[in-house]
Chain A
């Protein structure tokens, strides 16, 4: 298991490094002059030139990328051109909102998706299955901003039950979390259904029933556990998407998350924020993927077993080659 974790950690670091270089390179070639945006209508040409010098905006490519990676290793993502505060501080001020959106909507999506997916699989081709499948198809295809607007119109504007924007109390979180949660549940429901259908007719499930186990136990302990891998994969992908991709929901509900912040920073040409934000999202995605990988091994011991035996096989082959 330790080797499995170590190997995952190494690949995680490599992916991160490559991504940082790619992002830095892309940012270097992005057109635009942040100085013009920062100084606004009142800027003189001298002021623009001074700002270029102050923020080393005209450094050559290699110097810029090298400096960025060097600083990043020291935990320095640079200064936001707009707020003049460290990018890291700005991102961390917004990260809890993003994290809450990501975790909250994923949990809602998982609860609804897994339960409805199981029901659909167990009651395959029933009326209930067809209704749930239709709802999930709708959920998967309806854009999140549209769902968000419909929920706001109904619950905030028409009924006045829930606040339309902000993040000041638990009530403020209901609409945004359900917007993303419902959409998330659609994908998870479809994955749970198909995955459950694959395992539900397996011999070991039949054996469990034959041994007289109750149906819920058979479904949960024998079928669901073996169907979890694709569900975990889907959940991990969804979470990665929400970390930086819940911009539309953040916009509609005026939530100060990092996705919206990065988008606004693009308009402001605050490239340090864009770069730092993208790196942070990348780090989060790598961590989520790592956790999902760990969960694979936890859910299905065969995975670490396979990993372990393949290494052993290689060692044996190598030893044989040397001896041969």
Chain B
């Protein structure tokens, strides 16, 4: 019996020790993944993104989160510098042969990850593939390309032809969805991007992908820019849940954590050794009015709602100090931004005036309206709740129709809504990207169903106007019409942020497509 007791005691001690060992503090930061242990030596960068990449195809996706991965592997012909001026990258220089023809000189000595040299034929192949396979993300960056007339004049010269003069074509070629891929690698791998086709000229090359979890990359030793990237390996992890991302930032489990929720910023920023960096993006959120749906087809009703709501208060409630209350139809820094014009159309809340307008519109006793709300976006829900309360004071009963994200998208894109809150990005730093979404040929047209010939003429004309100032005027003119007719009420200029561990250097927010350049980033040596 004594032996048994001794055995039981020994087992208990063993279990306790195992438990203590399991919970014991390790020599490095235990919060970091084991494959990130090297981070202490300053050669392994760990970044957390808000979405899984699914595959590493560069030209199809339209999602900014996808670009966070592909931008490190594939490069574009042009990039923006720190001041958001377009700069040559894989294209060393270019000149216009005529309004529709650009002669591009491809940089010499640039190598793909498989050792091949970048040739004009690879660039042409990439564009041809985008057009032939109708790859959505890339297609929008080369909307007017005349692929039949494009040609690789020689190994380092590409003739790029558009069907009509395309004013924004060069800046569109900064879009990560035009990342150049190796023709040979693509064909040899039969287009399998997880088994060979993932071959660009970028600072990092693909090593492995763990579904739903992370992508491992390593520095490309033959990268054409001397001294870059600054780290030997890069892990990009996907943590879709914003609370989990905030926790990961607090525990310093990664060097950089993207996209901290507005409500978590203060908490993360107050953590020792972590700071949150922010910059304005290119996306503006609007309260959109569907002019094809009664009673929003009545301009007086729309105007009454403009007077009845206080967008500034709603934005403050939802986002606090994150981002900025709209000061223009597009964000500052975007071609087409005009604060003066915006102020001219902006109204100060006036409930009595709203009631008078409603009476004039034939609704003296108020009316019922609906806002279609994106269910997984807490900030948009908060703003809608604020609008609901504000509209009630003007005698407008507002129903919030909160839907699951996919249902909401289908609902609003098929024009079943009266109002909704939606954002337009201007990743090419021009208002055309946002304005085009309200054109009849676009799948987003029914967001507002704004059928105004003058508006459509201005937007179309802007697309073909090579003179920058003239183009800007046309953008402002088009945006003016949207506000004058009370179709889109600008609410909030989106900000981008990331939690960065102290000692990480060279990281900066990239406004354009919200993809951040990681080749300049170095991590602390501990």
Contact A155 B23 (CB under 8 A): yes
Q: Does B98 contact A (CB under 8 A)?
A: no
Q: How far is the CA of A162 from the CA of B34 in the complex (A)?
A: 12
- CB contacts under 8 Å to B, within A28-49, are 31-33, 36-45, 47-48
Contact A267 B244 (CB under 8 A): no
Contact A266 B404 (CB under 8 A): yes
Chain A residues closer than 8 Å to B213, beta-carbon distance: 166-167, 254, 256
* Segment at the interface with A among B247-255, B362-370, B378-386: B247-255
Task: Give the bracket for the number of chain A residues in contact with chain B.
Answer: 35 or more
Given the interface pairs A41-B62, A267-B404, the reply to whether A83 lies near B31 with Cβ below 8 Å is: no
Contact B22 A165 (CB under 8 A): no
Contact A161 B212 (CB under 8 A): no
Among candidates B57, B210, B443, residue contacting A45 with C-beta atoms closer than 8 Å: B443
Given the interface pairs A160-B25, A161-B25, A256-B212, the reply to whether A169 lies near B33 with Cβ below 8 Å is: yes
Q: How far is the CA of A25 from the CA of B335 in the complex (A)?
A: 49
Contact B32 A36 (CB under 8 A): no
Q: How far is the CA of A171 from the CA of B37 in the complex (A)?
A: 13
Count of chain A to chain B residue pairs whose CB atoms are closer than 8 Å in the complex: 160
Chain B residues closer than 8 Å to A267, beta-carbon distance: 376, 404-406
Task: Give the bracket for the number of chain B residues in contact with chain A.
Answer: 35 or more
Contact B136 A47 (CB under 8 A): yes
CB distance from A98 to the nearest CB of B (A): 11
Which of B52, B406, B413 has the most chain A CB atoms closer than 10 A to its own CB? B406
Given the interface pairs A165-B247, A165-B248, the reply to whether A85 lies near B31 with Cβ below 8 Å is: no
CB distance from A266 to the nearest CB of B (A): 7
Given the interface pairs A31-B407, A160-B29, A167-B213, the reply to whether A42 lies near B248 with Cβ below 8 Å is: no
Per-position binary interface string of chain B over residues 381-410, scored 1 when its CB falls under 8 Å from any chain A CB and 0 otherwise: 000000000000000000000001111011
Query: In terms of DSSP, what is the predominant structure of the interface of chain A?
Result: helix
Among candidates A47, A93, A94, A252, residue contacting B443 with C-beta atoms closer than 8 Å: A47
Contact A40 B31 (CB under 8 A): no
Contact A254 B237 (CB under 8 A): yes
Among candidates A80, A156, A174, A269, residue contacting B54 with C-beta atoms closer than 8 Å: A80
- CB contacts under 8 Å to A, within B1-55, are 22-26, 29-36, 52, 54-55
Q: Does B71 contact A (CB under 8 A)?
A: no
Q: How far is the CA of A137 from the CA of B126 in the complex (A)?
A: 61
Per-position binary interface string of chain A over residues 250-290, scored 1 when its CB falls under 8 Å from any chain B CB and 0 otherwise: 01111011001100101111000000000000000000000
CB distance from A43 to the nearest CB of B (A): 4
Q: Does A1 contact B (CB under 8 A)?
A: no
Q: Does B294 contact A (CB under 8 A)?
A: no
Contact A264 B425 (CB under 8 A): no
Chain A residues closer than 8 Å to B25, beta-carbon distance: 160-161
Q: Does A164 contact B (CB under 8 A)?
A: yes
Contact B62 A40 (CB under 8 A): yes
Which of A38, A166, A267 has the most chain B CB atoms closer than 10 A to its own CB? A166
- CB contacts under 8 Å to A, within B119-147, are 134, 136-137, 139-140
Per-position binary interface string of chain A over residues 38-70, scored 1 when its CB falls under 8 Å from any chain B CB and 0 otherwise: 111111110110100000000000000000000
Chain B residues closer than 8 Å to A304, beta-carbon distance: none
Q: How far is the CA of A170 from the CA of B33 in the complex (A)?
A: 10
Q: Does B92 contact A (CB under 8 A)?
A: no
CB distance from A142 to the nearest CB of B (A): 18
Chain A residues closer than 8 Å to B63, beta-carbon distance: 40
Q: Does B444 contact A (CB under 8 A)?
A: yes
Contact A50 B134 (CB under 8 A): yes
Q: Does B437 contact A (CB under 8 A)?
A: yes
Which of B137, B210, B212, B376 has the most chain A CB atoms closer than 10 A to its own CB? B212
Contact B210 A256 (CB under 8 A): yes
Q: Does A84 contact B (CB under 8 A)?
A: yes
Q: Does B164 contact A (CB under 8 A)?
A: no
- CB contacts under 8 Å to B, within A66-90, are 80, 82-85, 90
CB distance from A55 to the nearest CB of B (A): 13
B237 and chain A: residue at smallest CB distance: A166
- CB contacts under 8 Å to B, within A142-201, are 149, 152, 155-157, 160-172, 174
| A84-B57, A93-B212, A155-B23 known, 6 other contacts, Cβ within 8 Å | A32-B410, A36-B413, A90-B211, A164-B244, A164-B247, A269-B406
- Of the A-B pairs whose beta carbons lie under 8 Å apart in the complex, a sample of 22, sorted by A's number, is A32-B410, A36-B443, A43-B442, A43-B444, A44-B441, A45-B441, A48-B443, A80-B54, A82-B54, A97-B212, A149-B243, A155-B23, A162-B23, A164-B248, A164-B250, A165-B244, A165-B247, A171-B30, A174-B23, A251-B241, A252-B241, A254-B213
Enumerate chain A interface residues (CB-CB to B < 8 A).
31-33, 36-45, 47-48, 50, 80, 82-85, 90, 93-94, 97, 149, 152, 155-157, 160-172, 174, 251-254, 256-257, 260-261, 264, 266-269
